[in-house]
Amino acid sequence: MSGEDNIYDVLIIGGGPAGLSAAQYASRSKLKTLVVDKSRTAGALAYSSHIENYPGLTRSVSGRELLDIFREQAVAFGAEVVEAQVIGVKLDGDIKEVLTMEGGYKGKSIIIATGSMGRKASMKGEAEFLGRGVSYCAVCDAAFFKDKVVCVIGNSEEAVKEAGYLTRFASTVYLISPTPKLKVEDHPALTAQNLKVLHGTTVTAIEGGDAVEKIRLSDEAKKETELPLSGVFVYIHGSKPVVDFLYGTVPLTDEECIDANRMMETPIPGVFAAGDVRCTEIRQVVTAASDGAIAALSAEKFLHHRSRHKYDWGK
Ligand SMILES: Cc1cc2nc3c(=O)[nH]c(=O)nc-3n(C[C@H](O)[C@H](O)[C@H](O)COP(=O)(O)OP(=O)(O)OC[C@H]3O[C@@H](n4cnc5c(N)ncnc54)[C@H](O)[C@@H]3O)c2cc1C
């Protein structure tokens, strides 16, 4: 292939629900579409052992099953998918490029959909039990812990709020805070009857068999104890958008996310962002899929030089 033949209309980085929804919409609009995905098992959805809140599902499915459906649908409309990790991008100029260890790909537009699994697991057992009792999202997983004992690790505003949310489902919620004191006047959620705060305590390991069964704790005097439970919600650093391969080519906020507008446009013409990599408060499969659809339709408008939406970036 040479010349125009090897230039895609839409290059999508990331094959999660955002990237694959974008691929489905773009290829169905007859755009030559390529998804470059690091791994089928690396994204957030791949870690979800069961999804029951994605609209249209009549039974709970594993994240990987749902991903396979997303991928199959996109491919059926003509999208190509390659497995490769993007390590760099060139975004200036009309033709953009993504670089992988195996070679480069060129496109007239780019959708960045690499998710927010950029935070490294920080304690023993965290990565091993992710999706099997370890979670980063109470809204996603609280319903699976009805009448069970769970803990939330962290002392941020978000951690306390998520602990408050979990008290509606779990029998007991332990909020494990490494710092000495969280004040009730600052955090009304702390008044819930079934919320117990363990101050000045750190979790040294998460343990179990097929799923989480207990955690190991260390208090300020370095005394070690065990706590039997079923769920561990980790809010130590929050999730981190995967943007390392951008090397400053796309502006990021202080939280290191991409502040795309409502049409998923970034400040760089022809470059869009969708899903958890965006600055967004809600990180769900349905919102990622929605972002992907919007990004693809915006890319289609961009490619066909159709009049820009009335929203300007930054408004
Ligand atoms: C344990 C767990 C349980 C969850 N449960 C639910 C739930 O019940 N309901 C719900 O709605 N949501 C749930 N979520 C949230 C949901 O999974 C995410 O909001 C959603 O998957 C985000 O989609 P995304 O496409 O933006 O990112 P991801 O799903 O994270 O996909 C990102 C993709 O980008 C690829 N990628 C990353 N870096 C690169 C690179 N450099 N080059 C190429 N490809 C790259 C990855 O391989 C991956 O395929 C859960 C999340 C977790 C972690």
Top-level CATH class of 134-234? alpha beta
14 CA distance to ligand 1 middle (Å) = 9
* Tens digits of residue pLDDT in 263-315: 999 999 999 999 999 999 888 999 999 999 999 999 999 999 865 555 555 54
| Cβ-count burial 96-131 (b if 16+ within 10 Å, e if not) | bbbbbeeeebebbbbbbbbbbbebeeebebbeebbb
Is pLDDT of 187 > 70? yes
Architecture of domain 3-118+239-303: 3-Layer(bba) Sandwich (3.50)
Cβ pair 295, 35 in contact under 8 A? no
Question: From CA 116, how far away is CA 272, in angstroms rounded?
Answer: 16
The 212-218 sheet, strands edge to edge: 202-208, 212-218, 224-228
Instruction: Please choose from 62, 81, 114, 256 the residue to mutate so as to test ligand 1's pocket, defined by most ligand atoms within 8 A of CB.
Output: 114
Between the CA of residue 307 and those of 31, 300, 301, 314, what are the distances in Å? 18, 11, 7, 18
* Tens digits of residue pLDDT in 62-117: 999 999 999 999 999 999 999 999 999 999 999 999 999 889 999 999 999 999 98
Query: Does the C-beta of 15 come closer than 6 Å to ligand 1?
Result: yes
Q: Where exactly does CATH 3.50.50.60 map onto the chain? A: 3-118+239-303, 134-234
Average pLDDT over residues 239-252: 92
Question: From CA 108, how far away is CA 99, in angstroms rounded?
Answer: 15
Residue 116 alpha carbon, nearest atom of ligand 1: 30
* Tens digits of residue pLDDT in 41-65: 888 998 888 899 999 999 999 999 9
Average pLDDT over residues 33-45: 92
Average pLDDT over residues 159-163: 87
DSSP symbols for 43-109: SHHHH-S-B--STT-SS-B-HHHHHHHHHHHHHHTT-EEEE--EEEEE-SSSSEEEEETTEEEEEEE
Residue 15 alpha carbon, nearest atom of ligand 1: 49
In sequence order, what are the residues at sequence separation of 6 or more whose Cβ sits closer than 8 angstroms to the Cβ of residue 184? 190, 191
pLDDT at 152: 95
* Tens digits of residue pLDDT in 114-155: 999 877 778 999 989 988 999 888 878 899 999 999 999 988
pLDDT at 308: 54
For residue 198, give the nearest of 163, 171, 158, 162 by alpha carbon: 163
| pLDDT top residue among 156 and 207 | 207
Cβ pair 20, 67 in contact under 8 A? yes
Q: 173: which DSSP letter?
A: E
pLDDT at 288: 97
* Tens digits of residue pLDDT in 188-202: 778 889 999 998 899
pLDDT at 178: 79
Question: From CA 158, how far away is CA 152, in angstroms rounded?
Answer: 10
0.85 cut: is pTM over it? no
Cβ pair 246, 90 in contact under 8 A? no
Question: From CA 111, how far away is CA 18, in angstroms rounded?
Answer: 9
Is pLDDT of 185 > 90? no
In sequence order, what are the residues at sequence separation of 6 or more whose Cβ sits closer than 8 angstroms to the Cβ of residue 131? 47, 48, 49, 63
Name the pLDDT band for 238 (thresholds 50, 70, 90): low
Token pair 């249209």 is found at 56
For residue 82, give the nearest of 107, 62, 117 by alpha carbon: 107
Q: Are strands 86-90 and 96-100 parallel, antiparallel or unpaired?
A: antiparallel
Query: Does the C-beta of 292 come closer than 6 Å to ligand 1?
Result: no
pLDDT at 309: 52
Instruction: Please choose from 52, 59, 89, 137 the residue to mutate so as to test ligand 1's pocket, defined by most ligand atoms within 8 A of CB.
Output: 137
Average pLDDT, the chain: 90
Query: Does the C-beta of 243 come closer than 6 Å to ligand 1?
Result: no
